[in-house]
A = this chain, B = another copy of it.
């Protein structure tokens, strides 16, 4: 792929996806990248509108992410949480003092009639990010999980219960009627679109809410740009989080080919880790093997280049 005017669209969840999004942002002309964030994990907590994946992308692309935790901001302080605990407030969801500014200001603007897209766009510009950063929709979509305790809200399952309950089903409340963010649909229809990247996020929790939006899957099938997905499973395991556990609990095989099978109707190239060379079985699209673990900034950039080259090879 070449040419500064050609555009790349990345679909992403939080941590793992944000690492590749940052790699793409660094190796591409900065104005050519659009990153679409899952908002199925969004929730209201302490009266604040929190968009975890959008914020992880915001902080990561701005260079403000916390490399120790993988979420939240670097150089964070925790005075708020300590004071909240002393007042008897809920402390199961950790909100750093700096992170809180994002939620308070977003909540204020939403209450004033602004939408998530404009707020995210203002925030990324304020933080000096030249890539576009879009929520998948301005309408609420809420991922919920059926467990032995009944249907749980995503953060209730993921953070409060630390993803421990076995998952029997997932649903994306609101997805069927949510309008995809207009720029997302425009990007998919844009003749200048050179590539769609499905980042190595959890397919079931982070990417499927995006694909569940009306017309999104069809737009991806229809779009002329190749769709490249990166496996979130390396060496038969998820890098972080409960991805493999949930895939298994839902009756699938949590191997490095899972995402290729899962995205088969929209996929053109699949990128898996070289550690999984002998375990991929029968995948219906071309596969590129590379080192997919992104520990350093150089790893993120290298994987981004591999993703871009894989598309060029078609």
Distance A123 CA – B86 CA, assembled complex (angstroms): 9
Distance A77 CA – B107 CA, assembled complex (angstroms): 22
Which chain B residue lies CB-closest to A96? B79
- With A46-B104, A82-B98, A83-B97 in contact, is A122–B76 under 8 Å at CB? no
Centre residue among A46, A104, A123 by max chain B CB count within 10 A: A104
Centre residue among A81, A82, A83, A111 by max chain B CB count within 10 A: A83
Distance A80 CA – B83 CA, assembled complex (angstroms): 14
Bits for A105-137, please: 1 = Cβ < 8 Å to B, else 0: 101100100000000001100110000000000
Which chain B residue lies CB-closest to A112? B47
Majority DSSP secondary structure for residues of A touching B:
helix
Please tell me if A150 contacts chain B, counting CB pairs below 8 Å. no
Q: Please indicate the chain B residues that have their CB under 8 angstroms from the CB of A280 in the complex.
A: none
**Of B75, B84, B96, B108, the contact of A46 (CB 8 Å cutoff):** B108
Q: Please indicate the chain B residues that have their CB under 8 angstroms from the CB of A86 in the complex.
A: 101, 126-127
| Chain B nearest CB, measured from A119 CB (Å) | 9
| Chain B nearest CB, measured from A63 CB (Å) | 12
Please tell me if A73 contacts chain B, counting CB pairs below 8 Å. yes
Please tell me if A185 contacts chain B, counting CB pairs below 8 Å. no
**Of B79, B89, B104, the contact of A47 (CB 8 Å cutoff):** B104
The answer on a CB contact under 8 Å between B88 and A101 is no
Distance A73 CA – B82 CA, assembled complex (angstroms): 13
| Chain B nearest CB, measured from A58 CB (Å) | 10
| Chain B nearest CB, measured from A191 CB (Å) | 34
The answer on a CB contact under 8 Å between B101 and A84 is yes
The answer on a CB contact under 8 Å between A83 and B87 is no
Q: Please indicate the chain B residues that have their CB under 8 angstroms from the CB of A80 in the complex.
A: 80, 97-98, 100-101, 104
Q: Please indicate the chain B residues that have their CB under 8 angstroms from the CB of A187 in the complex.
A: none
Please tell me if A39 contacts chain B, counting CB pairs below 8 Å. no
Q: Please indicate the chain B residues that have their CB under 8 angstroms from the CB of A83 in the complex.
A: 73, 97-102
Please tell me if A192 contacts chain B, counting CB pairs below 8 Å. no
The answer on a CB contact under 8 Å between A101 and B73 is no
Q: Please indicate the chain B residues that have their CB under 8 angstroms from the CB of A107 in the complex.
A: 47
**Of B79, B87, B98, B108, the contact of A76 (CB 8 Å cutoff):** B79
26 contacts between A and B (CB under 8 A): A46-B104, A46-B108, A47-B47, A47-B107, A47-B108, A79-B79, A79-B96, A79-B97, A79-B98, A80-B97, A80-B100, A82-B98, A83-B97, A83-B98, A83-B102, A84-B101, A84-B104, A84-B105, A86-B126, A87-B102, A87-B127, A89-B104, A89-B108, A97-B97, A97-B100, A100-B104
3 nearest CB pairs, A to B: A83-B101, A79-B97, A83-B98
Additional A-B contacts beyond A80-B100, A88-B105, A89-B101 (20; CB < 8 A): A46-B108, A47-B47, A47-B108, A47-B111, A73-B83, A77-B97, A79-B96, A79-B97, A79-B98, A80-B97, A82-B98, A83-B100, A84-B105, A86-B127, A87-B122, A88-B122, A89-B105, A89-B108, A97-B97, A97-B100
